[in-house]
Chain A
């Protein structure tokens, strides 16, 4: 394996080679994750069969499995990975805080309370979970912003307001689960986050946010770099700090809200993936954003594959696998870098 230290010490040209190298690796792993997720399962399907199942109109079993189950599920997983990791990467920059993630702006607890409310109070209206959770996520994020506003936005105030509001909403979720303990199972699965039974309609919900959010994030990359230098330097360089911070937070909130409203409260991706990407490509957002997106795809699709096959025929929610495998790996990266 190529050595990062060597690359960095030998200056700028080697550094851009290193970044390109990492991006290519991430892209390969992401693609590998997608292919693996399509091919592995109760029915094992080869790459060739996958391609012919996707691009031809046959009506065989392969086509059924790929087209109706695995392809949409894999794509939903990939987009969720992109959305959550980009949201996390953006928020960590905007808040200048390594612990910032979609939780911190209330997206998760807002979606959680809204989603769980539907599931336990109106179990016959399951179809409402996604839109209501999305609404809950955005309302919580806006609420936290309003609470944190005092002639401008300071990251510390957002984080503290976020922690307080999330604690409040989470205790409401716990209360609901206690009062309706007979209906806890579905809600619990959703709160851990999973891709089970996710299909084309879910993809339609997330896709616009991934495209628009992704474009806005990339366009904002240079602003995020400037914001990372601190408010005073950023203002001195002519950046409108308040507007940039609010607009980038809004992008992150929309991306994260669309993801968690569909798959539940996946915690790990938004926090750890951007850090892992940053450890490898550095803090320049022009590289960090694509790297996070690719790594997000890889982590979610690979974890979901593992979640399906590890204890087959029982399926574990992907959120559990992700944290179990991902957290130790992240700790390894952290130790190695130091």
Chain B
């Protein structure tokens, strides 16, 4: 059974249709990347899956439950969401922020439990933040800050995490650091990862499954080596490319230039 399933999603912004009857199944324990050019609807799709945009039509299932019919708290116990460039009040410490990840497991009459402490400590350790737990988040570098948000999501103890461009604004080293971190959690804890990515090569290297969007519809979906092709890059992104394969037999895209008809 897929952990998440979207059926015939339609989203309209004013009179523009952003998602057109889009259906998608996400298998448990996989890393799924959503790719597409600007305006293809990939961020919108993630926002619909994370309940930040209500679809005009269509149903989303988390396991066998209709997302629209269960409480936000129940969802948050299973699913964590990391939006693009989140902002926190400037005086919060790393630990403060990670502790918020326990919010869905707490109730208003009961404060922090022992289990909450354990989960926060675990998330800090796993992300290599234990040493800087008492530092103020606004004094951290971009890469460290992104790790804090990921730690917050992990403290939620989710089965699935949705991320919108988690590596934007990071240098190449920190981009890889974030990708490796997610891959590790995927391997060790069977965490399902769904993310919107800009970098096609990152998607190719780290994903089990790639979804390529074009104008609100799925152009192609499948294993990276099957869908990331010269044809896809030409049709969807409008670029000419050469695809080579690395030692792990993952496709690597070498961009040659713009497809001439686009100029």
Q: Are A and B physically bound partners?
A: yes
User: Separation in Å of the B61 CB from the closest CB of chain A?
Assistant: 18
Q: Contacts A219-B108, A233-B83, A238-B76 hold; do A226 and B52 have CB atoms under 8 A apart?
A: no
Selected from A11, A222, A236, A284, the residue in CB contact (under 8 A) with B50 is A236
Selected from A231, A233, A238, A283, the residue in CB contact (under 8 A) with B73 is A238
Q: Is the CB of B100 within 8 A of A230?
A: no
Q: Contacts A232-B52, A283-B89 hold; do A226 and B100 have CB atoms under 8 A apart?
A: yes
Number of chain A residues whose Cβ lies closer than 8 Å to a Cβ of chain B:
24
Q: Is the CB of A12 within 8 A of B88?
A: no
State whether the Cβ of A186 lies closer than 8 Å to any Cβ in chain B: no
State whether the Cβ of A8 lies closer than 8 Å to any Cβ in chain B: yes
C-beta contact mask, A313-334 vs B, less than 8 Å → 1, else 0? Answer: 0000000000000000000000
C-beta contact mask, A232-243 vs B, less than 8 Å → 1, else 0? Answer: 110111111000
C-beta contact mask, B93-110 vs A, less than 8 Å → 1, else 0? Answer: 101100011011010100
State whether the Cβ of A151 lies closer than 8 Å to any Cβ in chain B: yes
Q: Is the CB of B86 within 8 A of A229?
A: yes
Kindly identify, within residues 49 to 94 of chain B, every residue whose CB is under 8 Å from any CB belonging to chain A: 50-52, 54, 71-77, 79-83, 86-93
- In the assembled complex, the Cα of A15 lies from the Cα of B96 at a distance in Å of 12
Kindly identify, within residues 254 to 291 of chain A, every residue whose CB is under 8 Å from any CB belonging to chain B: 282-284
State whether the Cβ of B156 lies closer than 8 Å to any Cβ in chain A: yes
Q: Contacts A219-B108, A222-B103 hold; do A237 and B91 have CB atoms under 8 A apart?
A: no
Residues in B with CB closer than 8 Å to A151 are 54
State whether the Cβ of A225 lies closer than 8 Å to any Cβ in chain B: yes
Q: Is the CB of B83 within 8 A of A236?
A: yes
Number of chain B residues whose Cβ lies closer than 8 Å to a Cβ of chain A:
38
State whether the Cβ of A301 lies closer than 8 Å to any Cβ in chain B: no
Q: Is the CB of A238 within 8 A of B101?
A: no
Residues in B with CB closer than 8 Å to A62 are none
Count of A-B contacts with CB under 8 A? 77
Q: Is the CB of A239 within 8 A of B91?
A: no
Selected from B76, B79, B90, B93, the residue in CB contact (under 8 A) with A12 is B93
Of B87, B88, B100, most buried by chain A (CB within 10 Å of CB) is B100
Closest residue on chain A to residue B92 by CB atoms: A283
State whether the Cβ of A109 lies closer than 8 Å to any Cβ in chain B: no
Residues in B with CB closer than 8 Å to A210 are none
- In the assembled complex, the Cα of A240 lies from the Cα of B81 at a distance in Å of 15
State whether the Cβ of A228 lies closer than 8 Å to any Cβ in chain B: yes
- In the assembled complex, the Cα of A264 lies from the Cα of B115 at a distance in Å of 50
State whether the Cβ of B136 lies closer than 8 Å to any Cβ in chain A: yes
Residues in B with CB closer than 8 Å to A8 are 91, 136
Q: Is the CB of A235 within 8 A of B50?
A: yes
Residues in B with CB closer than 8 Å to A229 are 86-89, 100
Identify the 8 closest CB pairs spanning chains A and B, nearest first: A238-B76, A236-B81, A232-B83, A238-B73, A283-B89, A238-B104, A11-B134, A238-B72
Question: What are some 17 contacts across the A-B interface (CB < 8 A)?
Answer: A15-B93, A219-B108, A222-B106, A225-B100, A229-B89, A230-B83, A232-B47, A232-B52, A232-B86, A235-B50, A235-B81, A236-B80, A236-B83, A237-B103, A238-B71, A238-B73, A238-B77
**B contact residues vs A (CB 8 Å cutoff):** 47, 50-52, 54, 71-77, 79-83, 86-93, 95-96, 100-101, 103-104, 106, 108, 134, 136, 153, 156, 162
